[in-house]
């Protein structure tokens, strides 16, 4: 069975961008693949976090993963920090990666721009991400478009390691959703919708109630024209709404554009479609909150399963490099 892995940082509440670009597809892997999904809590530390808030968000994101339909009996769900092999392999990979490779990552450039203090972890983040994937000998990694460059680097590091030290890692493929690979912020449609944005009106959270979804979409920034057209460069706001509606209803954004002559109806239909799409997630999330023991049990079993395979790969990599594990 092919193996897949993917992760999500607990830097905020999960939103519709990550859902349409990545998480929505995750449950579909659990029957025909050996699937691993994790909360990348160590990655969140690359920018300063309030410890209590981080711990709460980590649990919350784990609950959201179960709410979107990941079944801990058919997939392995765990917290990255509970599997020590991630940081251990990251060190081995950092020692065969160059500073230049890390500095070329666009996410590093974006996240470090204009900051007084940039953590070393933010620079070396892609080596930890490569370790996350390579430890599980994953064949494929389902992610949104913004992770493409990190996955390219993961492949480069795996190939380099295999060439230098002998076949050790499976070289993984990125699996990027052909639709909704990059959902934009509702208030600034030139920016990716992100969990950690300051503007709560820019993102639709997975657990937002229908009236909140309606309010956010009705206030979404469009443009001063009146024509509904799918043209992301010239009309980023309207195109983003079309992309959301298309992804939620399984249609094509350009074709959908032809069915609307007013922004108002496009907005109300988009709000309705998103709200319906998220209904089961909202309901399951509410149930899980009443029974937190389920989340703890899933994470404990998941960490144990993940450790077995991760430790085995780590030992092989360490020995290949000549260090005793």
Catalytic residue, chosen from 115, 191, 195, 216, is 195
Say whether residue 17 binds ligand TYM (CB under 6 A): yes
C-alpha 165, offset from chain centre: 31
> Beta-carbon neighbour count of residue 168 at 10 Å?
18
Residues 97, 94: Cα–Cα separation, whole Å: 5
**Cα end-to-end span (Å), the chain:** 29
Residue span binding ligand TYM (CB under 6 A) among the ranges 16-24, 25-33, 219-227, 295-303? 16-24
E strands within 108-223?
140-143, 173-176
Catalytic residue, chosen from 192, 216, 235, 267, is 192
3-state secondary structure of 119: coil
Q: Going edge to edge, which strands form the sheet with 34-39? A: 76-79, 34-39, 3-8, 140-143, 173-176
Smallest gap from residue 181 Cβ to ligand TYM (A): 6
111 given a catalytic annotation: yes
Q: Which residue of this chain has its Cβ atom nearest to ligand TYM in the complex?
A: 21
- x/- mask, ligand TYM, residues 174-193, rule CB under 6 A, reads ------xxxx--------xx
Which residue, 57, 46, 35, is CA-closest to 205?
57
Smallest gap from residue 324 Cβ to ligand TYM (A): 27
195 given a catalytic annotation: yes
Which parts of 120-179 interact with ligand TYM (CB under 6 A)?
129, 132-133, 141, 143-144, 146-147, 150
What residues make contact with ligand TYM under the rule CB under 6 A?
5-9, 17-18, 21-22, 40, 43, 129, 132-133, 141, 143-144, 146-147, 150, 180-183, 192-193
Kindly list the catalytic residues: 111, 192, 195
């Amino acid at each position: 069975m092919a193996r897949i892995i993917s992760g999500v940082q607990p830097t905020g509440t999960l939103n519709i961008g990550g859902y349409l670009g990545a998480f929505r597809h995750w449950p579909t892997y659990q029957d025909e693949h050996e699937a691993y999904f994790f909360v990348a809590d160590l990655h969140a530390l690359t920018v300063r976090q309030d410890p209590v808030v981080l711990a709460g968000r980590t649990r919350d994101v784990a609950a959201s993963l179960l709410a979107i339909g990941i079944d801990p009996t058919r997939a392995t769900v765990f917290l990255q920090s509970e599997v020590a092999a991630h940081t251990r392999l990251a060190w081995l990979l950092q020692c065969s990666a160059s500073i230049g490779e890390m500095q070329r990552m666009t996410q590093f450039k974006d996240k470090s721009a204009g900051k007084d203090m940039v953590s070393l972890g933010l620079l070396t983040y892609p080596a930890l991400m490569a370790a996350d994937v390579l430890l599980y000998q994953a064949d494929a990694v389902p992610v949104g478009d913004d992770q493409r460059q990190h996955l390219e680097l993961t492949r480069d590091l795996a190939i380099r390691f295999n060439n230098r030290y002998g076949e050790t890692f499976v070289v993984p493929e990125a699996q990027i959703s052909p639709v909704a690979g990059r959902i934009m912020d509702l208030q600034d449609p030139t920016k990716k919708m992100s969990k950690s944005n300051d503007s709560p009106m820019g993102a639709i959270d997975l657990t937002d109630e229908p009236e909140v979804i309606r309010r956010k979409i009705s206030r979404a920034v469009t443009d001063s024209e009146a024509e509904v057209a799918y043209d992301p460069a010239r009309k980023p706001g309207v195109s983003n709404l079309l992309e959301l509606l298309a992804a939620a209803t399984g249609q094509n954004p350009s074709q959908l554009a032809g069915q609307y002559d007013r922004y108002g109806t496009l907005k109300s239909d988009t709000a309705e479609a998103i709200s319906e799409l998220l209904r089961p997630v909202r309901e399951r999330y509410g149930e899980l909150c009443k029974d937190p023991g389920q989340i703890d049990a899933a994470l404990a079993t998941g960490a144990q399963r993940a450790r077995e395979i991760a430790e085995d790969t780590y030992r092989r990599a360490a020995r290949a490099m000549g260090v005793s594990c």
